[in-house]
Structure 1
């Protein structure tokens, strides 16, 4: 099997156990293929935790879950030096924290203070942790999926814009359709009858080497000059929206950073590869632009007062910027 066949089989197996959230599954795989991290925002019970558990179940990867709370400390994430005694002698040894895993679920990341969030985001960016003057490398296959509840803001610490920018994508998860919800009820009933096992029998686990092979193929996906200009024009239009559209000029206060350009290129290439193309089309860019730009746009007070969200602004952006 090719690397793409392996990834498509992984997507199908995850879809059998996560009903009605195919878009979230695809975004999770796109983040893995593009070697980036995801911020997933949705109401409780929408299979966010289940999604990354099923990814770990079908991938030969170790999963750790960190429940963010107000009393969490940075060392609870990164690890710390612990004093050990043996044979009458003592020494400090590094005890690795939960961030030393392949897949990390940062549950309700906005429930902890800024210094704890910064410890996680530094590990995400640098792919290493330094404790006691010693640097410890993280796993080569490393993905953080952080979650947020969009409605419950009491006792939370919103992520600063500069830290939000570290996430490759901000995925918004909604309720499933009625037919999908009926299938969810049936699946839960079957799992209850089977002793509560998630996803049925143990699946064949995909080796990390298949993901690395897929990334190598995605690196070779062709991006034409026209599509590259389209990506750059979309980004530039968020920074200087006046020539593009008067409403966008009123709505957007601060545009997308250069990380947005890089991220849109990476995710568009991964999207094209996942759909069987060896080149990127404008449709690939448009399919992922909301997830890449959503958390990078800072909207004006006027936009908030009018009830205009980031998705509406991006919709208008895509409508007004011509395809090269």
Structure 2
């Protein structure tokens, strides 16, 4: 076979490969690569969305990191939600999954009841929780007071607003419950029987049989939970706005984070800077910080996956 023929075959093979990859390549370029490059570009410009962008060097970066008073509280809250909320959701979702798997009668009813809250729209769920946890008229505080227990301020108290949002996230745990239930049902029964014959306790069976088998699902839940929490926007914004008593109309500017910036997250800063202050350059900086943190958390978790998946192998 001649050299020309070999080159022709390779060229045709490469073109076929590109043709099959073209839907992904187009989607990647249009919805990821171009927005990312544009965001990096705008982060070094002064741009309000109306006039052409003007290059201003590191001014936006300096402003966000040293002068923008909302950045540090938003970063702290976002990291708190990533660590506490994601951890609680994974543990609680796994616990509900273990409970549902062990229910012999009416398991389908319980799965439905636990899953239904997840279907509630985020805005409606946030509104419902604000009214339920209203410190003056809410039924939760009324019950606590009747039981002689302290009644927190919840969404009106900076110390309780983040735990209240975590409770809201745990209420809508149906997605993780379904995932963990499927994973638990897939654990081989013969491994449980062998561990039981060896005299393993319930905790030892969970530690050395259940956990190693569902470790990839736990990793999936943690990684996706971190990515979703880094985009946490609707619930804290609605809860803070309703609890503050501010009903914003069209064109009215509202500073998020009530009370005392405790519900402020980085995605809210992107909206506040870009669509309320029309400072797209600074908004691009915050968006890039979010992207970098998401990549960092994901890289760390994926690097440690070997230790997680190998749990119980010793």
Q: Same fold (TM over 0.5)?
A: no
Give me the TM-score of the superposition, normalised by structure 2.
0.25
* Larger RCO: 1 or 2 (CA < 8 Å, sep 6+): 2
Q: Which has the larger radius of gyration?
A: 2
Flag the structure with higher helix content. Answer: 2
Flag the structure with higher strand content. Answer: 1
Give me the TM-score of the superposition, normalised by structure 1.
0.24
